[in-house]
Amino acid sequence: MILFFKLFILFIKFKLVKIMKYLRYYISTLTLLVGIYLCLAVQSGPTILFLGFSLLIILGDILISEEDSEFQYSHPFFLNLPMYVNLPLLVLFLFMTIILLAENTIGDRIIYEYLNINLSKVKESFYFYDKVSLVAISSLFIGIMGTVPGHELVHRKTRKFDMFMGNWLLSLSWDCAFALEHVYGHHKNVGLRIDPATAKRGENIYAFIFRAIVKEQKDAWNIFLNQKNKNKSSFISIKNKMLIGYLRSLFITLFAFLIGGFEGAMIFLLCAFIAKSLLEVINYTEHYGLVRVPGEKVRPHHSWNSNSVMSSIYLYNVTRHSSHHEKSSLKYWELRPYKGAPMMPYGYLSMLYLAIFLPIVFHRLMSKKLVEWDNKFASKNERLLAVEQNLSSGIPFLQKKSQSLDMGI
């Protein structure tokens, strides 16, 4: 009897492990649902949500040991499902944000008429910092639960439904250019001067955001026009991915206007812009200061990698960035941890906040990592490029180190 009981417990544990490796990727779905509840039912809910969410990821990355496991999955549908579900939940969260922040909206009246819920008391309970937190968490959610799975799905160029969902997720941040420039441009040009998503050593984060957004739009149009000329298709057609992409985002903007008036539209556009900017900050951290010789193959050392657990779960393993750039056709659950690749000093959200709010600390941390990269990972020709960037970086530590690096070539 005791033996039977032990075998039963082992069986349950085995099944739980098999289930949990799927359920872990539903944490973003659960977070969105909990977020809606907190914002509507708890005093200072948006502030609690923003601080709690940030601390969950940052402290989770620090306290939980890095994970380099490679699980085997036999039911990919259940790995795709949370990304699909994120779209309607994100839209719901976004329009809740608009209704809670805009005054006298049609959304208020609809909710009161059909659900008999009066949101005026919730609005009146908000302090200024709650409103700021609501915009911040909405933007962060669009970036993490929208752009990241959108990024995953638009890589699946032959799967129409995945492309459809991915493009709609990206439309929440007005980023139709991403599906073209990132897939056909960034993956080809990563580490090169012409790549808008590769930050130079010492580059100002805010200047980078502006440069990246502008150049990505320009490059995306060039990619589309080259495809159009090759396929001999019309500019005004449903095959114009840029125009269709803008129309998706415009549709959401008009819906925001319908619900919250001019104020509602402005709230959505603000959240979309912040979310897009957060994407560029992630790009900034993923390839900061790394160089590649034109024509040479993209290798794992051309990205900063991370195996931090909470970042990996919430960001669908985009943290395993070295593997993603080595073979972009891999699904997120197929990406390899590459323990020997260049590693970020901290998890993704920690690096994002450092880059935005404490850029001096970010540059200090990454300068040491760059010197390590130059000595350990860079080829002889890459070291020449690294020396050039070090000297123009404006960072004394890198400028000093470039002299010894130059002598060692």
pLDDT 10s digits, 57-80: 999 999 998 888 888 898 999 999
Q: What percent of the chain has pLDDT over 70?
A: 94
Sort 115 into a burial class: Cβ within 10 Å, 0-12 / 13-18 / 19+.
exposed
Contact 317, 147 (CB under 8 A): no
The pLDDT value given to residue 200 = 97
Residue 399 lies in a domain: no
- Model confidence at 404, pLDDT cuts 50, 70, 90, reads low
- Model confidence pLDDT, tens digit, residues 22-58: 999 999 999 999 999 999 999 999 999 999 999 999 9
Burial 333-360 (b: 16+ CB within 10 A, else e): bbbbbbeebbbbebbbbbbbebbbeeee
Residue 146 lies in a domain: yes
Query: Which residue is associated with the tokens 């699946």?
Result: 156
Question: Would the pLDDT of 9 be above 60?
Answer: no
- Model confidence at 185, pLDDT cuts 50, 70, 90, reads very high
What's the average model confidence in pLDDT over 251-274? 96
The pLDDT value given to residue 227 = 86
What's the average model confidence in pLDDT over 104-118? 75
The pLDDT value given to residue 276 = 97
Higher pLDDT, residue 293 or 238: 293
Question: Would the pLDDT of 118 be above 60?
Answer: yes
What's the average model confidence in pLDDT over 155-175? 95
Domain holding 270, by residue range, is: 23-68+80-376
DSSP characters for 118-153? --HHHHHH--HHHHHHHHHHHHHHIIIIIIHHHHHH
Residue 278 lies in a domain: yes
What's the average model confidence in pLDDT over 243-249? 96
Residue 381 lies in a domain: no
What's the average model confidence in pLDDT over 339-363? 96
- Model confidence at 15, pLDDT cuts 50, 70, 90, reads very low
Question: Would the pLDDT of 232 be above 90?
Answer: no
Q: What percent of the chain has pLDDT over 90?
A: 79
- Model confidence at 407, pLDDT cuts 50, 70, 90, reads very low
Number of separate domains in the chain: 1
Mean pLDDT of the chain: 91
Residue 6 lies in a domain: no
Residue 12 lies in a domain: no
**Neighbouring residues of 276: CB distance < 8 A, sequence distance ≥ 6:** 147, 173, 174, 175, 213
The pLDDT value given to residue 394 = 92
DSSP characters for 32-60? HHHHHHHHHHSTTHHHHHHHHHHHHHHHH
Question: Would the pLDDT of 159 be above 80?
Answer: yes
What's the average model confidence in pLDDT over 156-179? 95
Residue 396 lies in a domain: no
The pLDDT value given to residue 8 = 41
Q: At 341, give phi and psi (nearest 5°).
A: -80, 165
| Number of other CB atoms surrounding residue 16 within 10 Å | 11
Residue 389 lies in a domain: no
What's the average model confidence in pLDDT over 380-384? 94
CA atoms within 13 A of residue 121's CA, in its CB half-sphere:
7
